[in-house]
Every structure is written in C-alpha cells, then in structure tokens.
Structure 1
C-alpha cells in the first residue's frame, strides 16, 4: 500500500525559480527510501511538500490516498519532518518540555502527553537528560531531541533531512542507529542525504533528483554505478557493492 504519493508535483517560487517539475513518486508503507541529489536538486523542497510545509504550484500530495491539502493538521501529525538544523525545531526550556510541545498542541490529556514524552525520550536514549536545557546538548543530542519531538506525535512517516551534516563519527553512528531502529519498528523512513556511504546499505530504495526532476528511482544496488553522473559521490564497499558497506557492522 502506498502511504505517500506525489502526482505531477510542480513548485515554482515567487521569483520564478522552478524548484520541482512534474514529480511523480509513490512511497509504500514501511519503506526506507533515500532521496539524493546534488545541491539545488530540489530534495528539501520535495520533502517539505510531504507534510504541507510547502504547497505545490500544481499537482498534489496524497497521504494514504487522500490529498493532504484537505487536512494539513492530519498530515503534519502523521508525517514528521526532522530538519537539518535541529536548533530550528527546539522550542522548550527543557528537553522534556520541548518533546511535550507537539502533543500539547493536539490538546491531549496531560497523562497521555506525559506518557508520550517518556516513551519518545526512551526511544532516542535521552531519558536521563529530560531536565536539561536544550542549548547545552551536543549536536547529535539535539538531533535526537528533534527526533523525540517528532516521535511524540506518533507519526506514520518520519523524514530526516541531511541528518549527518556536521556530526563526528560517534554522532553519525548514534543517528544512523536511531534511523535504522525506527525503520525496524515499522516506521516509513524517508532520508534526504548526499552522504550515501552512511546509509545506503540500509535502504530499500534510492530516488535521485536533478534540477528539480526525478531522474532515477529503484534498487540501490542497481543504481549505485550511476550516481556520480548526477553529481553524487559514489560509495564504495569493500567488494565494490553497497551490501558490504555498512557503518553499523
């Protein structure tokens, strides 16, 4: 079953820049999809349409077969987007307050909010830091906090936009383990990245954008030899294939 779909999706900014052109893409429930492309290819613009942060100039996005434009609140509850700059998502005075922000805005009972906060912090390994001020966290911890805030909304789809940027090796491992764990627990994962070597071995599918168009879509093993032609660094496994190239081995 398709959980998300874009149909003839086109986005033109007010200055006339055509960021996306006729994107047709269907994502199945439970998939782990990587969206890649060089700078300016339209990756971030595309995923911001998936929960209604951006609205298309033409075309539409469907969530479980229903246009998200009919209920943006429902879309933003069920499609969680974790930005590259996690600081932009932090609003609480403490870690726990930050995670509670989304559920509180759903007008849930206090006990359910507290339960969701506890579960989300446990899921990302931040329970011990519940009373910390977010600005004191490391870069990796801030991204885990942003993920907890999304998890507390209990979304069906989780989108990570360039989650590895600026992280050291331990930080990358923390975030990658979290992403892979969420996928194993049944979440549909969409990962926007140009660093294929970090995550491609775990993905079911690779989608490549170029200049606002979807140019390739398929099995990562079949597409790995083509990525450099689209301005993306090719990852090399020990035996030349992505199946041997995992940071979690």
Structure 2
C-alpha cells in the first residue's frame, strides 16, 4: 500500500535550546485512519502544521502525497461564508476551479456530510458538530484526500461526538486518509488502523491500537482507555 505521509528523521526546533519534535520517523498509509495521541506539549500540533505545510522542518525529509485539509479544534474559526453553501464555495473559487462546476461540487460536498438541508441558513446557527462537518465539506470541495482533525471532540456533547465518529468512519470508507490528533482515546481508538504516541517531542509508540492498550500508557501521560468503571468510586482520574 502506498504512503500518504512519510517522515524521515524530522526535527523541528524554534531556538538552539527549544525542540518541538526530535528525530521523528513514521509512515501513514493511504486510506488509513491514524490517531496521534500525547499529552499537552507533546508536539501534536506542530506535527500537524508540518504535515499540512504550514511549517517547515528544521531537519529531515517529509513527503506528503497530496495537500492535506485541516479541521481545527475550533472549527468556527474556519468559516468564511455567511451560509454553508457560501463557505464551501470559497475554496474551489480560490483554487480557480471551473466556475460552472462549482455549484454541483458544493452541493455534493454538503450532501456528503449531511448538511445539504442547512445549506442556506446562517452558518453561525450550526452546532459544534455541524461546524466540524462544514469544515470537512469545504475540504472535500477542494478535492483533498488527506484530512487532519485537531482535537475534534473538544466541547462536544455525547450525540455530537457520535456524529463526528460517523463522519470519520464515512471518510475512511470513501478512501480518504484521516489523521486524528487527540488525547480522548476512549472516544475513538476503535476507529484507528494505526496509533502513534508523542511525548515531549519524541515518538515513543508506533503500532496498532491493540498493541498499545496492552502496555502502561500512563508512562507517557496517557490514561489507558481500557480502564473499567464498575461503581461510583471508580469515577475519578488519579
């Protein structure tokens, strides 16, 4: 299977003493769903910006098969149009797609993320989960095959989390390469083919979810999601 993303000995430093990523190497296969876990400050966001081309590595080689699309933690900041239809059309227009093709492309993208019935309402009225779906529609309209989600469950209630997971499963079934940066493993690890863990800028785990949950993830400041809850006294993280 071909690679969508390949990092070879990638280092990113912001000064002579401050390193964000240190000698990172891994591969992400096309059509896979990869979860990148790690505590705050582990380097997840910098990794996302490197893969997306928003930053350049200090050292090493980074190969990406196509330009990725990003879904930020606060998807509302990505909305550029007054309505979902207007918003999704921005990318194709900026990329100078054929004008006569854009309306159908926008409609297909909104339909794909189940927002077509809300295409012409004010985008500000959308829920948090719907705004994430709108961000994905905008990416699909630009014909991007790699989609990166940064903490997609932030500030979402249970139904919205389920809605995001349905979208992730759908994108994977359509052959998109999905990269998910999150520390909320209990909400999504079953979706993943591939699991990476960063700690203080280093890659400390590269394998499958099944392999990961058999080891003490707490050593890397991650709570093992297989912890069982049997009564109220168990409902505390410590």
TM-score (normalizing by structure 2): 0.91
For structure 1, the residue ranges without an aligned partner over 5 or more in a row are 65-74, 239-249
Instruction: Give secondary structure in 1 for the equivalent of 2:110.
Output: helix
- CA distance in 2 between partners of 1:104 and 1:182 (Å): 23
Q: How does 1:122-137 map to 2 (within 5 A)?
A: 122-137=111-126
In structure 2, C-alpha distance between the alignment counterparts of 1:228 and 1:155, rounded to whole Å: 35
Distance 1:205 1:136 in 2: 35
Give the corresponding residue for 2:198. Answer: 209
How far has the Cα of 1:15 moved from its partner? 8.6
Q: Using a 3 Å threshold, how does the CA distance of structure 1 residues 14 and 100 change in structure 2: closer, same or farther?
A: farther
In the alignment, which residue of structure 1 is the partner of 2:235?
none
Within 1, Cα distance between the matches of 2:132 and 2:178?
16
Alpha-carbon distance between aligned partners in 2 of 1:210 and 1:100, rounded to the nearest angstrom: 39
| Alignment partners' CA distance in 1, 2:209 and 2:6 | 20
Instruction: Name the structure 1 match of 2:231.
Output: none
Which of 189, 203, 207 is matched with 1:218 structurally?
207
Render the CA deviation track for 1:189-228: whole Å, top value 9, x for unaligned. 1111101111111111110000011111001111113322
Residues 35-184 of structure 1 aligned to structure 2 (within 5 Å) = 35-64=36-65, 75=66, 78-184=67-173
2:13 aligns with 12
Q: Work out the number of aligned pairs and report it.
A: 227
Deviates further, 162-171 or 89-98 = 89-98
Q: 1:23–1:57: structure 2 CA closer, same or farther, 3 Å change rule?
A: same
Distance 2:135 2:186 in 1: 23
Aligned counterpart, 1:235:
225
Give, in angstroms, the shift of residue 237 of structure 1.
Answer: 7.4
After superposition, the Cα gap between the structure-2 partners of 1:153 and 1:11, relative to the gap in structure 1 and judged at 3 Å, is same
In the alignment, the residues of structure 2 paired with residue 52 and residue 119 of structure 1 have an alpha-carbon distance, to the nearest angstrom, of 27
- What's the CA shift for 1:122? 0.5
Which residue does the alignment assign to 2:25? 24
Q: C-alpha distance in 1, partners of 2:142/2:17?
A: 35
SS at match of 2:61: strand
Runs of 4+ in structure 1 off by over 6 angstroms are none
Q: Any unmatched runs of 5+ in structure 2?
A: 229-238
Q: 1:126 Cα deviation (Å)?
A: 0.5
Name the CA shift for 1:16/1:94 in 2 (closer, same or farther; >3 Å): farther
Comparing 117-126 with 7-16, which one deviates more in the overlay? 7-16
* Structure 1 stretch displaced more, 16-25 or 200-209: 16-25
Please give the alpha-carbon distance, in whole angstroms, between the structure 1 residues aligned to 2:11 and 2:78.
Answer: 27
Q: Are 1:3 and 2:4 an aligned pair? A: yes
TM-score, L = length of structure 1:
0.87
Distance 2:188 2:7 in 1: 24
